[in-house]
Each structure stands twice: as structure tokens, then as C-alpha cells.
Structure 1
Amino acid sequence: MEKNIVKAIKSVTATIGAENYKTLLQTKHHQLIADEPEQIGGKNQGPSPSDFLMSGLAACTAITLKMYVDRKQWITGDIMVQVCLEHKNENGHFSSVFTRIVSVSQKLDDEKMQRLLEIANSCPIHNLLTNPIHINTSIE
């Protein structure tokens, strides 16, 4: 069977075999493992897909903020970004809500903290998740 590989700017391949839910993820330069928690049949050998999604938003936010504060030469100490994901079903309407909390170990004045919030909201993964997303799927 010939595989069609999509030519894209970024690509990840996921491969799952006989072992329940353990999934090998291959990026251009890295191999990772995704899995599900034991309580739903996995072996918890790696983050769940939702964990990877939240990790992407948290990492992108932290990196974007670090680039900005370095360019401005602001002293923030460590930058920590926590992301939580909540699923809601209200009257048959399903939605997901990300809550992102940014903290710095060395507080800045209010004006600079407000600017950090604006910069956090402009990270590429935030932009991807808050704009229309289209997923084209084919099966071979």
C-alpha cells in the first residue's frame, strides 16, 4: 500500500500497534510517546493527547513571553504558564475552555504585566486555537 505523505510546513506521524493506546509520535527531530491513563485502559507511559495539546499552548506561551522580555531586557525571573482544560456540555452544546495562568517570579509593574498578558494572547498556538480550524481527513 502506497502512503500519501502530505507536504506541509510541520508534520507529526502517530503510530499505534497492539499495545492498548500506546502511540509513538514522530516529529521531524523527535520521537515521543502518548498514552492514556491506566483507569481507561492505557499504561500511562506518556502524556495523553489532551496533555500534549495543553503542553503546546503552555510551551508556546512561555517561549513567546521569554522572547519578548529578553528583547525588552525586562527582568522577570522564571516564567511559569499553567494551562487547564475543561469540557462543558450545556443543553447539548459541547465546548472546551482553556484556562491559562501566567506568573513570573519577579513581579513587574502593572503596565508591564498588562503587556505580558497581551503578548501571551498573541502566541502562535493561542492564535491557532482561537481562529477557525479546518481538519481535512482522508483514509487509505
Structure 2
Amino acid sequence: MKYILESPIVGKIGQQKFKTAIVWRNGAFITDEPEKIGGQDLGPDPYSLLLSSLVACTLATLRLYIDHKALEIKDITVEANMYQKIVKEQIVTYIDRSITFDEAVAPEIKQRLLKIAESCPVSKILKGNVEIATQLPS
């Protein structure tokens, strides 16, 4: 098996409720929970991080395609939010994603860009089958 990341993401938490340190290959950042649930809002919460991954991947994928096709689209904005509902006694998560461009884009190009956005790797992960294997080393 070959991992996507060269080094794993590492997170640590001390005694301060909800504040974590996340270390990635070139740096570190803090995550936290909003004050309304007991955190100090010092960094993004896990849901914000998940949606940030989708937004970042969508933007990067669109920019690669737009540049490759030499389209005259300078700025792209992607917004994402999520909600959950109980459907047939199971929690179902819905993610709404909105893409806007700073200039007029022809409808046929918009449709192609929508398909490109749907094919970004994080979209595929979120829509696919994900299995999480968790171990406690002895």
C-alpha cells in the first residue's frame, strides 16, 4: 500500500479542552472548537477543516483546468457548508457547494467546470466509500 501523503498528519492535545496542535510536512496549526461549546475558537473546528479541504481541492482543480484550457477566468470563489438530517433512522450529511467566477462565463463552459469540480479528489473521497482503520499500538 502506498499512502497519498509522504508523512502522516499528527495531532496532539494537552489538558486545554478542545485545543489541538496539528503537524503537517511543513508546519503546524491549531484547531479548536467554538466558544459556544466550550472551546476558545483559536483555530478551525473539525467540520471547518473538512469543508476547507473540499473548497481548497475544488479551487485547485478548477484553476488547473482553467489554466490548461487558457480560459479567461481570473478569480474563482467556492463556498461550502453542511447540515445533517435523519433519514430512515440514519444520519445523512449534506454538503452544499457554490462556485462563482469574477466574470461572465458561457453556460457550456460553466457546465464543464461543474463536472471538473465534481471530479476533484476530495469530492471523490467524500462521495466514495471510506473505511477508517484505527489501531492502539501495544
1:105 equivalenced with 2:102 (yes/no):
yes
RMSD, aligned α-carbons = 1.2
2:65 match: 68
1:9 equivalenced with 2:18 (yes/no):
no
1:30 equivalenced with 2:27 (yes/no):
yes
Give 3-state SS (helix, strand or coil) of 1:99's partner.
strand
Structure 1, gaps ≥5 residues long: 1-6
Q: What CA distance in whole angstroms lies between the structure 1 residues aligned with 2:46 and 2:113?
A: 28
- In the superposition, the TM-score normalised over structure 1's length comes to 0.92
Q: CA offset at residue 32 of structure 1?
A: 1.1
Q: What CA distance in whole angstroms lies between the structure 1 residues aligned with 2:104 and 2:85?
A: 34
**After the TM superposition, which of the residue ranges 87-96 and 59-68 deviates more from structure 2?**
87-96
Q: What CA distance in whole angstroms lies between the structure 2 residues aligned with 1:25 and 1:101?
A: 28
Structure 2, gaps ≥5 residues long: none
Count of aligned positions:
134
Q: What CA distance in whole angstroms lies between the structure 2 residues aligned with 1:22 and 1:80?
A: 29
Q: CA offset at residue 108 of structure 1?
A: 1.1
1:121 equivalenced with 2:89 (yes/no):
no
User: Which residue identity does 1:16 align to in structure 2?
Assistant: I
State percent identity of aligned pairs: 34
Q: CA offset at residue 89 of structure 1?
A: 1.5
Which of the residues 15, 19, 23 maps onto 2:16? Answer: 19
- In the superposition, the TM-score normalised over structure 2's length comes to 0.93
Q: What CA distance in whole angstroms lies between the structure 1 residues aligned with 2:118 and 2:82?
A: 16
Q: What CA distance in whole angstroms lies between the structure 1 residues aligned with 2:72 and 2:19?
A: 41
Give 3-state SS (helix, strand or coil) of 1:82's partner.
strand
